[in-house]
């Protein structure tokens, strides 16, 4: 597999007379806890770019619908390409181009569930193919530790932005961290990715907490009544 510096398969970006790239593609990472509107923003961005005549692909991994689409908690949905470990994002774009499909950008939803190699491929798409990549995802897992792909995005992205839709902890403070809840208690050990259910009495669910209550494990007075659904 090609490394981050391998440009052998890439196309050289079109250049102006001064030698600078005519279009400076960028890798951008938008992050926040669950329920902060990441997928909504991803679809809005796709809509805005398509309105301007640009064409892109939408990818996702482990969407809450568990199907090849991006779904949002406020009811929007868009078909998407499921990212597997075997999928090379550069091949995805090259194959689309070979089929005559224009690809100006990629919208990568749930990017924290991608592999680190996928993030290297995103950087390659920007640097060698002149394709914009907009990645959306969680920064940290249920233990408040960075996902490997999120860490790589923080390291490589041209810009990183915390999504500014505030999610509140039960105490009213800003929600920052996703807690995994099982049997009514906060869980601190286990697999990094476990899909939570949407029903209140699910075996595993997720709840956004402020740092103070994530650290203390206090799920609040309505701990058994309010359920989250995302990994």
* Among the residue ranges 62-70, 78-86, 157-165, 212-220, the one whose residues contact Zn ion (CB under 5 A): 212-220
d(CA 144, CA 206): 13
Does position 28 interact with Zn ion (CB under 5 A)? The reply is no
Q: Is 56 annotated as a binding residue?
A: no
Nearer to Zn ion, 152 or 180 (CB): 180
Query: Sign (positive/negative) of CA torsion 85, 156, 29, 102?
Result: negative
* Least distance from Zn ion to the Cβ atom of residue 119, Å: 31
Instruction: Tell me the two tokens of residue 2.
Output: 């090609």
Compute how many residues bind Zn ion; rule: CB under 5 A. Answer: 5
d(CA 194, CA 180): 9
* Among the residue ranges 102-110, 169-177, 197-205, 223-231, the one whose residues contact Zn ion (CB under 5 A): 169-177
Does position 171 interact with Zn ion (CB under 5 A)? The reply is yes
Q: From the list 36, 213, 228, 231, which residue makes contact with Zn ion (rule: CB under 5 A)?
A: 213
Q: Is 195 annotated as a binding residue?
A: yes
If you count DSSP H runs as helices and E runs as strands, how many of each does the chain have, helices first? 5, 11
Instruction: Tell me the two tokens of residue 216.
Output: 């203390």
Does position 54 interact with Zn ion (CB under 5 A)? The reply is no
Residue 112, number of CB atoms within 10 A of its CB: 28
Residues 6 or more apart whose CB falls under 8 angstroms from that of 100 comprise none
Instruction: Tell me the two tokens of residue 29.
Output: 């990472």
Residues 6 or more apart whose CB falls under 8 angstroms from that of 99 comprise none
Q: Is 194 annotated as a binding residue?
A: yes
Does position 226 interact with Zn ion (CB under 5 A)? The reply is no
Nearer to Zn ion, 90 or 205 (CB): 205
Q: From the list 169, 176, 181, 208, which residue makes contact with Zn ion (rule: CB under 5 A)?
A: 169
Q: Give the pairing type, strands 177-182 and 185-187.
A: antiparallel
Does position 173 interact with Zn ion (CB under 5 A)? The reply is yes
Does position 168 interact with Zn ion (CB under 5 A)? The reply is no
Does position 210 interact with Zn ion (CB under 5 A)? The reply is yes
* Among the residue ranges 57-65, 87-95, 164-172, 187-195, the one whose residues contact Zn ion (CB under 5 A): 164-172
Determine phi and psi for 24, rounding to 5 degrees. Answer: -90, 100
Q: Is 193 annotated as a binding residue?
A: yes
Q: Is 191 a catalytic residue?
A: no
Which value, in Å, is the radius of gyration of the alpha carbons in the chain? Answer: 19
- Residue of 79, 110, 120, 189 marked active site: 110
d(CA 100, CA 47): 21
Active site residues: 110
Binding site for Zn ion (CB under 5 A): 169, 171, 173, 210, 213
Specify binding-site residues for substrate.
Answer: 193-196, 206
């Amino acid at each position: 597999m090609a490394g981050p510096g391998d440009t052998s398969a890439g196309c050289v970006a079109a250049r102006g007379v001064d030698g600078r790239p005519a279009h400076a593609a960028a890798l951008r990472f938008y992050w926040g806890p669950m329920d902060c509107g990441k997928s909504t923003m991803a679809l809005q961005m796709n809509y805005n770019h398509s309105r301007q005549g640009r064409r892109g692909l939408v990818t996702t991994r482990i969407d809450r619908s568990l199907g090849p689409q991006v779904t949002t908690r406020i009811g929007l949905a868009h078909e998407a390409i499921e990212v597997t470990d075997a999928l090379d994002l550069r091949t995805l774009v090259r194959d689309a181009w070979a089929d005559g499909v224009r690809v100006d950008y990629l919208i990568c939803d749930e990017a924290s569930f991608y592999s680190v190699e996928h993030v290297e491929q995103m950087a390659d798409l920007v640097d060698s193919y002149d394709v914009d990549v907009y990645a959306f995802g969680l920064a940290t897992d249920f233990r408040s530790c960075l996902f490997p792909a999120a860490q790589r995005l923080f390291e490589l992205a041209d810009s990183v932005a915390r999504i500014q839709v505030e999610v509140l902890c039960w105490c009213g403070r800003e929600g920052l961290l996703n807690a995994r809840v099982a049997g009514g208690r906060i869980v601190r050990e286990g697999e990094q990715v476990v899909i939570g259910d949407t029903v209140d009495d699910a075996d595993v669910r997720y709840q956004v907490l402020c740092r103070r209550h994530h650290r203390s494990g206090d799920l609040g007075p309505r701990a058994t009544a309010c359920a989250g659904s995302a990994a």
